Structure formats: C-alpha cells, structure tokens
Amino acid sequence: METQHHSQRNKNTRFNLALIGFLLIAAFFLFSEHRAHFFGVLPFLFLLACPFLHMFMHGGHGEGSEKGGRVEGSTEK
C-alpha cells in the first residue's frame, strides 16, 4: 500500500517538473518572438494604469474628515 502511494507521488512529481519545464520553454519562446509587440504596447499600458492608480491609491482625498458639510468638532449647527 505504501509503495503504491509512493510511486503515485513520484509520477505526480515527474509530471509537475515536466509541465514546469515545458511552460518555461514556451514562455521563453513567446517572449523572445513577441518582444517587439510587448514593448510597443507598454507605453499604452502605463497610460491605462493612471486612472486605476488614481482611483485606488488616493483613498478619496480625505473626504472622511467632513460629514454632512460640517467639520468634525465644530459647534455650529
């Protein structure tokens, strides 16, 4: 029973290593053959990132300090 489980684990490990090797080789050839396309689009990706950075990084510009038009701690009603 233990040897069957051990041999199955070895098969899975070999398969995973072969799959990782294949994916690394495929990624290398995709990058090397399509590098010009990737670098040609890169400036537009930076421009596309600007609105997302503005929305997610600014955190609302401090709107949490005002509630209903009043400043916190003021005694005016």
Residue 39's pLDDT band, with cuts at 50, 70 and 90, is confident
Buried b (16+ CB within 10 A) or exposed e, 3-41: eeeeeeeeeeeeeeeeeeeeeeeeeeeeeeeeeeeeeee
Spatial separation of the C-alpha atoms in residues 53 and 3, rounded to whole Å: 54
DSSP lists the bridge partners of residue 66 as 71
Q: What is the tens place of the pLDDT at every residue in 49-70? A: 988 888 888 765 655 555 555 5
Residue pLDDT, tens place only, 21-35: 999 999 999 989 988
Mean pLDDT of 2-14: 75
The predicted model scores a pTM of 0.43
**How many CA atoms lie less than 13 Å away from 66 in the CB half-sphere?**
7
